Each structure stands twice: as structure tokens, then as C-alpha cells.
Amino acid sequence: MQVLVAGGGGYIGSTLVPLFLERGHEVTVLDRFYFGNPFGKLPKELASRLHVVRADIRSFDPAILAGKEVVVDVSGISNDPSCELEPDLTKGVNLDGGQRLAKAAREAGVRRYVYSSSCSVYGHGEGLGLVETSNRHPVSLYARAKAGMEDYLFAANKQDPAFEVVALRLATVFGLSPRMRFDLAINVMTKNAYINRRIMVDGGGRQWRPFVHVRDVAEAFHLAARSEAKLVSGEVFNVGSTDNNVQILNLAFRVRDAIPGTEVVHAPTDPDLRDYNVSFEKIEKVLDYRTKVTIDDGIREVLQALKEGKLDPDDRRWYTLKQYLFLREAEKIHAELGLDGHLLS
Ligand SMILES: NC(=O)c1ccc[n+]([C@@H]2O[C@H](COP(=O)([O-])OP(=O)(O)OC[C@H]3O[C@@H](n4cnc5c(N)ncnc54)[C@H](O)[C@@H]3O)[C@@H](O)[C@H]2O)c1
């Protein structure tokens, strides 16, 4: 298949793109590469079918969509605090940019559009085992933008059923990826336990969250991209596994047990309004999807990489908010001191 992956340089994208290449697809990545280009070390055979377009979803040339059968959208500002930084920017990227990309894809005749939504649209969930038809109660700008994109995409699919839209509501992701993220619960707890022997639990710790490994997420996107239209078009799927719904305090205890000598401390914060326990029966039944990586496997994987020095835990790019703050500051400095596009030279 000819696939365009928007945001392919990100945490999910940098695992998903190699998986699509391994399965024989031709992949074009459209990304600003805010966290760097993670594809430098791809084997030649895969790199020969990868095309990289460094551009913005808000302004790219729609000609790059010509001949694409599938678009996967894993782009955007990807967590609550980064979205709160500049609400207008968040709207511009996560809503207006996302809609621009979808509209251009539809106009270019793209058949299948797979969108990375989030279980955070359930927000303050009503009871355990939330299903795709449960009410959405997004409690952050980030999650409201996800809900807004779902509505836009399904309206487009209703108007034009040949534009096959699938929304994947991802659980919180964990595990190693070429663009690493140490701002996701399992990854950050493991890193903090390893380095400081201390885990801070925010929001009381009783809040539920579902988790899913980044390779299992990549598999879910591949399945959504290639499954028959009658199974997926116009559908939402929660992506994860019911066993991986965990209360945050419990998660901290699991990480503590993996790293002896770690203490778990409650941070003096308000209760976390985001509290959702999700059912993954639909994707299991309809697409025969099963996750392969457990939470304990993921903790071990991240721990091992840290022990072997494969990752620099202080690299700013692994912290989404820090990197966006840095880019904002760099932009200011450039505006103040830049001359003909240069700062020093
Ligand atoms: N990681 C999770 O736990 C999780 C859970 C649910 C949903 N999601 C969603 O999945 C998607 C991918 O998440 P991620 O963890 O890989 O995030 P990420 O921040 O690592 O990746 C996002 C990518 O989008 C790119 N990007 C941002 N703005 C852009 C723009 N204007 N034009 C072009 N490219 C742009 C960035 O450079 C980056 O490579 C996001 O939409 C996120 O909201 C993630």
C-alpha cells in the first residue's frame, strides 16, 4: 500500500513507520520533526521505501497525497500540558491542521483515514469498562480537540462513505521507541525509580488509566489500515487490553517492585479529574486484536535500556513539554537576534 503517515517522526510514528515498511508498504512521512528525525538508522532495504517530507500539516503541499491509499494521522501536540501552553497554537495544529490534512486527503481520493484519538476523551469516566458508545467527558483542551477531530472525521465519512474513517482511541502508551517519551506514566515512573529510587504519584493515585505498548499500538494501526471497510469504516475502536487498566498508585507499586529500594511518594496535588477504565472487547471481537506486551514487560524493557545506557534520560527531546518550551524560546531569540536567518554566523 501507498501510505502517508503524518507525525511519523514522533513516539508512536517512529515505531509505526518501520513496522509498515517491514510489512512491505511504501511510506511517506509528513512531519515537522520537532523531536528530530528518528530514521537515520533504518536498514537500507526499509529506507529505500521511505520518503520523508519535512513540512507542517497546517501548510504542506497537498500534491504529496497523490496516489496515497491510506493516511495515518499520528501528528499533533501530544499531551495536556503542552496543549495548555498556547491554546491558539493547539487549536491551529490539533484541530485546524488535522482537519486540513483530512480534507486534503479526501480531495486527493485517499480511501482509508486512520486517526489517533485517545481514551482521554472519556475524561471523567462514568463507571468501569467504558465502551466506544459511552459518553465522552473530555476534561482538557487536548482531549476536547481529539473529540472535535472525531466529530469532524465522522461527519466527512457520513457525507462521503468512500472516505473510510477509523478512529483509534489509544490507551496511554508505554515502552521504548526511537523518539522516546519520558513523560508517559510507565516510562517516567520507571526512569524515576531507576535514577532517583523515588516515584511521585499525582492526583491521589486512585484514578484509573488503561495502558498499551507502543508496538501493540503500531499493530493496531496496521490492522485498521488493511481491514475490510465493512469492519472498520465509520468506526471507533478503543486500543489496549482490559487487563492493562490500572489505578495509578497500583502502577507505582508495580514499578517499585521491579526496582528494589524505590519509595512511592504522594505529590501534594489536586485529585486527577482524568479517571477512566476502558473495555477493549470491540477491537478484540471485530478485528481479532490482542495486545502482546504486558505492563511488566514494558517496565523491564525501559529499565534494561536505561541500565545499558542506550538512552540518555536527560535528553530534552524525550520530554514533550520541555522541548516545546525550548522551541518557543528559540523562536523568540531568533526573532530578536537573528540576521538573514543566522544567529552567530
Ligand atoms: N502517546 C500516547 O500515550 C498517546 C495516547 C493517545 C493518543 N495519542 C496521540 O497519538 C499521536 C502521536 O502521539 P505521540 O506520543 O507519538 O506524540 P509525539 O509528540 O511524539 O509525536 C507527534 C509528532 O507530530 C509532529 N507534529 C507536531 N505538530 C506538527 C505539525 N504542525 N505539522 C507536522 N507535524 C507535526 C511532531 O514533530 C511529532 O513528530 C498524537 O496525536 C497523540 O495525541 C498518543
Contacts of 288 (CB under 8 A, 6+ apart): none
What pLDDT was estimated at residue 16? Answer: 98
251-279 mean pLDDT? 91
How sure is the predictor about 336, in pLDDT bands with cuts at 50, 70 and 90? Answer: very high
**Probe residue for ligand 1, chosen from 4, 5, 11 as the CB with the greatest number of ligand atoms within 8 Å:** 11
Cβ–ligand 1 distance for 179 under 6 Å, the answer yes
What pLDDT was estimated at residue 267? Answer: 87
- Note whether 284 and 219 are within 8 A (CB): no
Q: pLDDT tens for residues 278-322?
A: 999 999 999 999 999 999 999 999 999 999 999 999 999 999 999
pLDDT at residue 81 is higher than 90: yes
What pLDDT was estimated at residue 273? Answer: 80
How sure is the predictor about 270, in pLDDT bands with cuts at 50, 70 and 90? Answer: confident
Cβ–ligand 1 distance for 51 under 6 Å, the answer no
Cβ–ligand 1 distance for 13 under 6 Å, the answer yes
What pLDDT was estimated at residue 274? Answer: 85
Q: How many CA atoms lie within 13 A of 257 on its CB side?
A: 8
Q: 263: CA distance to ligand 1 center in Å?
A: 32
Percent of the chain with pLDDT strictly greater than 90 = 94
pLDDT at residue 204 is higher than 80: yes
Average pLDDT for the chain? 96
What pLDDT was estimated at residue 139? Answer: 92
Please state which architecture CATH assigns to domain 2-320.
Answer: 3-Layer(aba) Sandwich (3.40)
Q: 261: CA distance to ligand 1 center in Å?
A: 34
14-23 mean pLDDT? 98
For residue 293, the SS3 value is: coil
Cβ–ligand 1 distance for 207 under 6 Å, the answer no
For residue 219, the SS3 value is: helix
Cα–Cα distance, 11 to 13 (Å, whole number) = 6
Alpha helices in the chain (DSSP H): 13-22, 44-47, 80-85, 87-90, 98-107, 141-159, 185-196, 214-226, 229-232, 248-258, 281-287, 295-307, 320-337
Percent of the chain with pLDDT strictly greater than 70 = 100
What pLDDT was estimated at residue 246? Answer: 96
CA dist list (Å): 73 to 113, 149, 182, 330, 331: 8, 11, 22, 27, 26
29-46 mean pLDDT? 97
The grid coordinates listed for 4 are 502517508
Cβ–ligand 1 distance for 12 under 6 Å, the answer yes
pLDDT at residue 10 is higher than 90: yes
58-63 mean pLDDT? 98
Nearest atom, ligand 1, residue 58 CA: 31
**Probe residue for ligand 1, chosen from 28, 61, 72, 75 as the CB with the greatest number of ligand atoms within 8 Å:** 75
CA dist list (Å): 43 to 21, 39, 161, 217: 10, 9, 38, 22
What pLDDT was estimated at residue 268? Answer: 82
Q: pLDDT tens for residues 216-226?
A: 999 999 999 99
- Note whether 99 and 71 are within 8 A (CB): no
Angle between helices 185-196 and 248-258 (to 10 degrees): 40
45-72 mean pLDDT? 98
- Predicted TM-score of the model (pTM): 0.97
Cα–Cα distance, 149 to 313 (Å, whole number) = 33
pLDDT at residue 125 is higher than 80: no
DSSP one-letter code for 97: I
Q: 92: CA distance to ligand 1 center in Å?
A: 14
